[in-house]
């Protein structure tokens, strides 16, 4: 995944899950598909649905930054990668590709990076960190990617771990804390 200044690329699940966290204070659903269904039913998020389209070159959703959601107003700078929660940071072996974020009523942190080696080790590292930090997590496979999502007291994270290529595992990490 590459972040772009005019559009933000995310797996559909990550984009929708994040918006749910910024606009809802309810208890999270038991799995990611249920979170998607609950989000689609929310009148406040129907506007976001109109801002999502498929990029024909990548086959991934594009969420316009102008959409009324937690991901609007992202500031692109690599220093956002160091502003994830201390108990759930970027992987220590991460080679940062791009980062963005903002503070305000709904804080957001986004980073794309690669980690050398096995993606199972990356998943285990994040699952252990999240569990130790008190996040409730759910793990699913989505179109060949491994998705680990979790919630804790108004915070939501979604970590998408792609298929390794040339010895590197691509990772997209999104964290929000909604109002």
Per-residue pLDDT reduced to its tens digit, 2-52? 443 333 333 333 443 343 333 333 333 345 555 444 444 433 333 333 333
Which pLDDT score is estimated for 77? 95
- Cα 176 from Cα 179, distance rounded (Å): 10
- Residue 165 pairs in a beta bridge with 168
SS3 of the chain: helix, strand, coil, percent, to 5 = 30, 35, 35
The number of folded domains in the chain is 1
Domain contains 170 = yes
Whether residue 60 lies inside any domain: the answer is: yes
Is 56 inside a domain boundary?
Answer: yes
Question: Does a structural domain hold residue 53?
Answer: yes
pLDDT of residue 176: 93
pLDDT beyond 80 at 131: yes
Report DSSP state, residue 89: -
- Contacting residues for 47 by C-beta, under 8 A, at least 6 apart: 67, 68
Domain that holds residue 104: 7-177
- Summarize pLDDT for 52-111 with one digit per residue, the tens: 333 333 333 334 444 447 888 889 999 999 999 999 999 999 999 999 999 988 999 999
Q: Considering the domain boundaries, does residue 2 fall inside one? A: no
Q: What is the pTM of this model?
A: 0.67
């Amino acid at each position: 995944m590459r972040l772009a200044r005019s559009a933000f690329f995310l797996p559909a699940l990550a984009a929708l899950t994040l918006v749910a966290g910024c606009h809802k204070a309810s208890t999270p659903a038991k799995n990611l598909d249920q979170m998607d269904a609950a989000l689609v039913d929310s009148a406040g998020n129907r506007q976001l649905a109109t801002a999502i389209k498929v990029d024909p070159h990548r086959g991934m959703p594009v969420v316009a930054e102008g959409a009324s959601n937690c991901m609007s107003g992202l500031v692109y700078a690599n220093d956002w990668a160091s502003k994830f929660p201390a108990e759930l940071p970027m992987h220590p072996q991460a080679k940062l590709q791009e980062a963005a974020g903002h503070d305000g009523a709904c804080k957001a942190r986004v980073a794309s990076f690669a980690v050398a080696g096995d993606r199972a080790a990356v998943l285990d590292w994040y699952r252990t960190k999240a569990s130790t930090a008190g996040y409730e997590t759910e793990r699913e496979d989505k179109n060949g990617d491994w998705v680990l999502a979790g919630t804790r007291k108004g915070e939501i994270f979604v970590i998408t771990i792609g298929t390794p290529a040339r010895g590197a595992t691509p990772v997209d990490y999104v964290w929000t804390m909604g109002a």
